[in-house]
Amino acid sequence: MKIRAWMLGVVAVGIMFGAVLISDALGYWQTESTKTPAVISTGEFAGKADPADIRGSYSFGDVEAAFDIKSEVLAEAFGVDPAEAEGFQLKSLETLYVALAEAGTEVGTGSVRYFVALYTGLPYELTEEVYLPQPAVDLLIEEGKVAGEAAEALKEIAVEIPAVETSVEAPGESTAESAPAAAVSTGEAEGGVVAEDLVIKGKTTFREVLDAGVSEAEIRSAIGAEMPNPLTVIKTFCTEQGLDFEAVKTVLQALVDAE
C-alpha cells in the first residue's frame, strides 16, 4: 500500500509532538538551562554538586542554591553590591575587574569555583593559576575554612579589588552606588592611604607604593626597567622578570620610609 506524502507529514508531526509530551511528562523536556552543576560521581562526596562545573552564566543565586552559600557571603567575598548579589552573574567579574586581568591577576569564574570548594570543603583540582580577592581570603580564614599553611598559601594569591560601580541603572535612576572595595593592607580608608603604615609584602602592588608617595622615576630606578601596570603585584613582576624580590623590596621599602 502506498502512503501519500501528506500522510507521512502528519505521522512525522504526530511522532514529534508525542515525544515532546512524553518527555515533558517524565521530566526530561526542558526549554531553559537549569543552572545546576553536575554532581561528583565517586568518592566520599559522591552526589554532591561539583565546584568544577560552575559556569560563568551562573548567578550568585544559582551558586547559593547548589552549594548552600548565601549570595550575600559571595557578594562580600567578591566585592559586589549586596543588593545585586542574587542576580549577579559570575562572568561579570571579568569585566568588573578588567584592570586586574590586565595586570595578570584576573578574578573571574575560576576564582568563584576555588572559593566555593574551600568554603564547602568539596574537592577541586586547580588546573590554572587562580587569584582570590582579599575579602574572600579574609573570610575563609576568619570562618575557619582554611588554617595554617593553607591560609598562608591563600595570602600569596590574594589581590586587592578596586572600587567600581556595579549597580545596574534602572529607567529614571542613576548608578551612584559603588561596590564595596577591600581596604588595602596599608591602612586605606575613605581619606586615602596612610603612607607610614605601608609595609611591602608579597601581595603589595606598585599602585600602593605610588600612593605612599614614591614617584614612578624612583620605582623605575629600583626595578631597573619601565614600570608595569600599577596594579601589578611587585612579587609577581620580579618573578616574571627574574629579579630578586627581597632586594627590590628592600629598595622600595627604603623609598617608602623616606617619604
Domain co-membership, 155 together with 203: no
Domain limits for position 219: 195-258
Contacts of 245-248 spanning 24+ positions with Cβ under 8 A: 245/202, 248/222, 248/223
Tell me whether residue 148 is exposed, middle or buried, using C-beta atoms within 10 angstroms of its C-beta: 0 to 12, 13 to 18, 19 or more.
exposed
* Pair (61, 130) in one structural domain: yes
106-165: pLDDT as tens digits: 999 999 999 999 999 999 998 888 999 999 999 999 999 999 999 999 999 999 987 654
CA 204 from chain center: how many Å?
19
Structural domain includes residue 176: no
Residue 56 sits in the same domain as residue 94: yes
Please check whether residues 8 and 107 belong to one and the same domain. Answer: no
Q: Is residue 56 part of a domain?
A: yes
For residues 28 and 38, what is the distance between their CA atoms, to the nearest angstrom? 16
pTM of the model: 0.55
* Boundary-marking domain end, from 138, 159, 180: 159
Residues 244, 183 contacting (CB under 8 angstroms): no
What stretches of the chain show up as alpha helix (H) in DSSP?
5-26, 60-67, 71-78, 92-96, 98-102, 109-120, 134-142, 148-156, 206-211, 216-223, 234-241, 245-258
For 148-206, what is each residue's pLDDT tens digit?
Answer: 999 999 999 999 987 654 444 433 443 334 444 333 333 333 333 333 468 888 888 88
Domain match, 71 and 120 both: yes
Within this chain, do residues 7 and 78 fall inside the same structural domain, yes or no? no
136 and 55 inside one domain: yes
In a domain, 62, yes or no: yes
- Same domain as 144, residue 86: yes
Q: Are 230 and 207 within 8 A, CB to CB? A: yes
Q: Is residue 169 part of a domain?
A: no
Number of structural domains found in the chain = 3
Residues 193-249 have pLDDT tens digits of 333 468 888 888 888 888 888 888 899 999 999 988 888 889 888 888 888 888 898
Same domain for 103 and 75, yes or no, is yes
Which of 159, 184, 212 is the C-terminal boundary of a domain?
159
- The residue among 107, 136, 159 that closes a domain is 159
What's the confidence (pLDDT) of residue 32? Answer: 45
Q: How many residues does the chain have?
A: 259
> Based on the domain organization, do 56 and 126 belong to the same domain?
yes
